[in-house]
Amino acid sequence: MTTSTGSSQERRVHVPLVGRAYDILIGPGLITKAGGEISSRLKGRRAAIITDEHVAPLYLDMIMDSLQTDGIEAVSLTLPAGEKTKSFEHYMAVCDLILEARIESNDAVIALGGGVIGDLAGFAAGTVRRGVRFVQIPTSLLAQVDSSVGGKTGINTRHGKNLVGVFHQPDLVLADSSVLDTLSKREFRAGYAEVVKYGLIDKPDFFEWLEKNWQEVFAGGQARIEAIATSCQAKSDVVVEDEFENGRRALLNLGHTFGHALEAATEYDSKRLVHGEGVAIGTVLAHQFSSRLNLASPDGAKRVEAHLKAVGLPVSMHEIPGTLPPVETLMAAIAQDKKVKSGKLTFILTHGIGQSFVADNVAASEVESFLKEKHPG
């Protein structure tokens, strides 16, 4: 469970990985306290901050000041914003900066930004000197509830997303809830799709709480902090049980197989579809597909669709602007997904709200005929 800390609003989620346990702190104003939180946990006194051009003007000086106050000497690298930054070229540049700054194993690489920065900086932190300390300061809701927790890092290649990387757990995650106030509503919603996912995996009560309280979560304040903390705790529970995704961790991909195919089909054009929107549509599709296979009653799918629609997320392929490629192209993307083993399709399906499971032998023909029904073209 999450535990209260000194402040009345702050929450702490402890991730009890053996030998590499770490804390996720969630609350307002954590960025201004970064120096104290880091210096009390790490032995080293050097840091390299990796950030992007959107985040740097807002928070970089704030963090540099806080680190300096607490005796940590820091350098920084500001990269272009966007998915294209997760490349071999930027990975090389980040490694070079870390080595140039003479970061040793007890010093820290700090990722200040969204999932792109976290994945890239984490990969460099996991490989320079075969691993140095790593601190995540996620600045998007998506990164706070998903990508900053769990240790998956990586970059994209011409063959697909996240195909090169390592598992490298952070030593500390600082999820500053105040920074979410500057997110666009669309970006906040996209992260919210992952919050809903945790309820749908195995927490029906949390899903019900979100149905009732989502407006407060969007408004900010304590409900938002609770939603983030519950999401981090849910992810932590799964990761502690199956760190390297040999089994249960695959549940975190609920909605993601369809979602990734839609992202590929829209050529990762964020004007048409961002990751969280793909997940929202994918989550609805996963529930509808489960119902079609007679694994779940149609009521669950309807509830999921109604809730995501209420918060303003897209819930069907019809809502994606522009023309989608044919079902055959979507099927090819699904087959190339890295969760495919020896040709069989692995899907996360459900028996109802909060009753998801890993199905590793789904017939491609069933998926194809389902998608043909749902496809707008």
Q: Is 150 helix (H, G, I), strand (E, B) or coil?
A: coil
Token pair belonging to 55: 């985040």
**Phi, psi (rounded to 5 degrees) for 249:** -60, -25
Token pair belonging to 94: 């980040």
Instruction: Pick the closer one to a copy of itself by CB: 95 or 295.
Output: 95
Token pair belonging to 167: 């598992």
Q: How many positions of this chain bind a copy of itself (CB under 8 A)?
A: 32
- Residue of the chain from 99, 306, 310, 363 that contacts a copy of itself (CB under 8 A): 99
Name the amino acid, one letter, at 248: R
Q: Does 360 bind a copy of itself (CB under 8 A)?
A: no
Q: Does 62 bind a copy of itself (CB under 8 A)?
A: no
Query: Is residue 361 annotated as part of the catalytic site, yes or no?
Result: no
Instruction: Pick the closer one to a copy of itself by CB: 271 or 341.
Output: 341
Q: Does 361 bind a copy of itself (CB under 8 A)?
A: no
- Residue of the chain from 3, 57, 68, 163 that contacts a copy of itself (CB under 8 A): 163
Q: Does 159 bind a copy of itself (CB under 8 A)?
A: yes
Which residues are CB-contacts of 4 (< 8 A; sequence separation ≥ 6)?
A: 10, 11, 12
Query: Is residue 260 annotated as part of the catalytic site, yes or no?
Result: yes
Q: Which stretch binds a copy of itself (CB under 8 A): 78-86, 156-164, 182-190, 205-213?
A: 156-164
Q: Does 127 bind a copy of itself (CB under 8 A)?
A: yes
Q: Does 167 bind a copy of itself (CB under 8 A)?
A: yes
- Residue of the chain from 57, 88, 318, 376 that contacts a copy of itself (CB under 8 A): 88
Q: Which stretch binds a copy of itself (CB under 8 A): 101-109, 185-193, 218-226, 359-367?
A: 101-109
Q: How far is CA 177 from the centre of its chain?
A: 16
Q: Does 18 bind a copy of itself (CB under 8 A)?
A: no
Q: Which stretch binds a copy of itself (CB under 8 A): 68-76, 99-107, 250-258, 287-295?
A: 99-107
How far is the C-alpha of 108 from the C-alpha of 95, rounded, in Å?
A: 13
Would you give the DSSP letter of residue 325?
P
Beta bridge partners of 113: 138
Torsion angle, CA of 51/57/63/66, rounded to 10 degrees?
A: 160
Q: Does 92 bind a copy of itself (CB under 8 A)?
A: yes
Which residues are CB-contacts of 96 (< 8 A; sequence separation ≥ 6)?
A: none
How far is the C-alpha of 259 from the C-alpha of 285, rounded, in Å?
A: 9
Q: Which of 11, 133, 256, 374 is catalytic?
A: 256
Instruction: Pick the closer one to a copy of itself by CB: 122 or 278.
Output: 122
Query: Is residue 41 annotated as part of the catalytic site, yes or no?
Result: no
Query: Is residue 130 annotated as part of the catalytic site, yes or no?
Result: yes
Query: How deeply is 205 buried, as exposed, middle or buried, from its count of CB atoms within 10 A (0-12, 13-18, 19+)?
Result: exposed
Would you give the DSSP letter of residue 346?
E
Q: Does 154 bind a copy of itself (CB under 8 A)?
A: yes
Among 45, 68, 42, CA closest to 134: 42
How far is the C-alpha of 113 from the C-alpha of 124, rounded, in Å?
A: 15
Token pair belonging to 152: 């998956």
Query: Is residue 10 annotated as part of the catalytic site, yes or no?
Result: no
Query: Is residue 275 annotated as part of the catalytic site, yes or no?
Result: yes
- Residue of the chain from 8, 40, 158, 271 that contacts a copy of itself (CB under 8 A): 158
**Phi, psi (rounded to 5 degrees) for 188:** -60, -45
Query: Is residue 33 annotated as part of the catalytic site, yes or no?
Result: no
Q: Does 122 bind a copy of itself (CB under 8 A)?
A: no
Q: Does 104 bind a copy of itself (CB under 8 A)?
A: yes
- Residue of the chain from 60, 75, 166, 362 that contacts a copy of itself (CB under 8 A): 166
Query: Is residue 245 annotated as part of the catalytic site, yes or no?
Result: yes
Q: How far is CA 230 from the centre of its chain?
A: 14
C-alpha distances in Å from residue 65, one per residue of 27, 72, 183: 19, 10, 23
Residues 337-356 that bind a copy of itself (CB under 8 A): 338, 340-342
Q: Does 212 bind a copy of itself (CB under 8 A)?
A: no
Q: Does 278 bind a copy of itself (CB under 8 A)?
A: no
Active site amino acids? 130, 152, 194, 235, 245, 249, 253, 256, 260, 275
Instruction: Please report, as ranges, the residues that interact with a copy of itself according to CB under 8 A.
Output: 43, 88, 92, 95-96, 99-100, 104-106, 123, 126-131, 152, 154, 157-160, 163-167, 338, 340-342
